[in-house]
């Protein structure tokens, strides 16, 4: 249901000779989105009994500055009308702790915005097996030099349970910059990145997270570079390097700008 809320939009409008006046408008609040995309999926079987998070997507259709944090009530248990276990949390995931084997569990999410508008999600269910969720394997990392001091880095992400991967993290050098990538990748996915390094020893570290929010061990690769990188605006670009930009025409815009390609 839509709720109309009067909101003070502008502070003071000064009109010559008429003092000050306030401007207001009516703001129509919309309820949060229906909670969706449950993990485990609705009706899923052989779900691990521990080391997992239940997760979902939510949010609110109202844009800033009027949309604030949506809060979620979590209902979870063995009853088809599960009891409330967590109230007014901001996180989009819930840790059920250790569950019983071969048991059907039911869960439901209710989303509420700051204006008190609520959206009740469907009741989902899943059934556990006997297995314990194992963390993803440490990523396999390889490097191929494609131009002077420029490398094609490949990361292979695998999970011993065959689960999809929800995120991976890469640290390009110890105590230097790193990135966290979120998505949904099949087990065995290979990700390619291009990275340039100067003279010295460099260490690449990566790890990945399964669909149940379980992180695996780190994988490592060290690169030793003995020659210095020389860059000149008059220097011709390696043909193999240009072939890579032809292969990935929309990738690496910053790198292409730096090299004036």
pLDDT in tens, 177-194: 678 899 999 999 999 998
Give me the percent of the chain exceeding a pLDDT of 90: 57
CB atoms within 10 A of CB 67: 17
Same domain, 63 and 170: no
Residues 121 and 164 in one domain: no
| Residues 162, 177 contacting (CB under 8 angstroms) | no
Q: Is the pLDDT of residue 7 over 90?
A: no
Query: According to the model, what pLDDT value does residue 148 have?
Result: 83
pLDDT at 18: 46
Proportion of the chain above pLDDT 70, given as a percent:
73
Q: Is residue 167 part of a domain?
A: yes
Q: What is the mean pLDDT of residues 188-203?
A: 88
251 — pLDDT class (breaks 50, 70, 90)? low
pLDDT at position 234 is 34
Domain presence at residue 254: yes
In a shared domain, residues 154 and 223? yes
Say whether both 121 and 227 belong to one domain: no
Does the residue 133 lie in any domain? no
For 183, the domain range is 140-258
Domain shared by 88 and 149, yes or no: no
Q: Is 40 part of any domain?
A: yes
Q: Is residue 8 part of a domain?
A: yes
Q: What total number of domains does the chain contain?
A: 3
Band (pLDDT 50/70/90 cuts) for residue 10 is very low
> Considering the domain boundaries, does residue 134 fall inside one?
no
Q: What is the pLDDT of residue 122?
A: 98
- 191 vs 198: which has the higher pLDDT: 191
Q: If we measure between CA atoms, which residue out of 97, 99, 82, 92 comes closest to residue 47?
A: 99
pLDDT at 204 over 70: yes
Q: What is the pTM of this model?
A: 0.68
| Average pLDDT value over all residues in the chain | 81
pLDDT in tens, 44-53: 999 999 989 9
Q: What is the CATH number of the domain that holds 60?
A: 2.60.40.10
- The residue ranking higher by pLDDT, 33 or 1, is 33
Taking residues 210-219, what's their average pLDDT?
A: 94
Q: State whether 254 and 157 are in the same domain.
A: yes
14 and 63 in a common domain: no
Question: For residues 46-66, b (16+ Cβ closer than 10 Å) or e, as one string?
Answer: ebbbebbbbbbebebebeeeb
User: What was the pLDDT predicted at 15?
Assistant: 41
- Quick one: 40 and 116 in the same domain? yes
Examine residue 191 and state whether it is found in any structural domain, yes or no. yes
The answer on 200 and 115 residing in a single domain is no
Looking at the domain assignment, is residue 135 inside a domain?
Answer: no
pLDDT-derived band at 22 (thresholds 50, 70, 90) equals low
pLDDT band of 259, cuts 50, 70, 90:
very low
Same domain, 8 and 39: no
Give yes or no for residue 218 having a pLDDT over 80. yes
Confidence (pLDDT) at 28: 83
Query: Looking at the structure, do residues 227 and 252 belong to the same domain, yes or no?
Result: yes
Here the tokens at position 164 are 């999809």
Q: Are 140 and 181 in contact (CB under 8 A)?
A: no
Residues with Cβ within 8 Å of 5's Cβ and at least 6 positions away in sequence, in order, are 26, 27, 28, 29, 115
User: What are the two backbone dihedrals, phi and then psi, of residue 55, each rounded to the nearest 5 degrees?
Assistant: -140, 160
Indicate the burial class of 213 (C-beta count within 10 angstroms; 0-12, 13-18, 19 or more). middle
| 174 in the same domain as 212 | yes
């Amino acid at each position: 249901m839509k709720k109309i809320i009067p909101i003070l939009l502008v502070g003071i409008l000064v009109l010559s000779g008429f003092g000050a006046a306030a401007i207001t408008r009516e703001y129509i609040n919309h309820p949060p989105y229906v909670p969706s995309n449950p993990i485990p999926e609705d009706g899923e079987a052989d779900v691990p009994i521990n080391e997992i998070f239940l997760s979902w997507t939510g949010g609110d259709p109202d844009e800033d500055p009027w949309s604030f944090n949506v809060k979620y009530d979590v209902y979870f248990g063995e009853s088809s009308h599960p009891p409330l276990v967590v109230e007014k949390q901001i996180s989009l995931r819930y840790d059920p702790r250790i569950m019983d084997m071969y048991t059907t569990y039911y869960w439901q999410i209710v989303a509420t915005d700051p204006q008190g508008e609520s959206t009740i999600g469907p009741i989902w269910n899943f059934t556990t097996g006997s297995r314990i969720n194992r963390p993803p394997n440490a990523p396999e990392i390889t490097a191929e030099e494609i131009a002077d001091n420029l490398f094609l880095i490949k990361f292979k992400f695998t999970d011993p349970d065959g689960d999809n991967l929800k995120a991976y993290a890469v640290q390009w050098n110890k105590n230097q910059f790193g990135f966290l990538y979120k998505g949904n990748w099949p087990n065995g996915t290979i990700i390619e990145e291009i990275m340039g390094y100067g003279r010295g020893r460099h260490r690449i570290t990566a790890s990945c997270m399964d669909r149940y929010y379980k992180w695996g061990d780190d994988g490592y690769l060290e690169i030793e570079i003995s020659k210095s990188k020389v860059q000149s605006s008059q220097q011709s670009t390696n043909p193999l390097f240009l072939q890579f930009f032809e292969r990935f025409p929309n990738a690496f815009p910053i790198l292409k700008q730096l090299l004036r390609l």
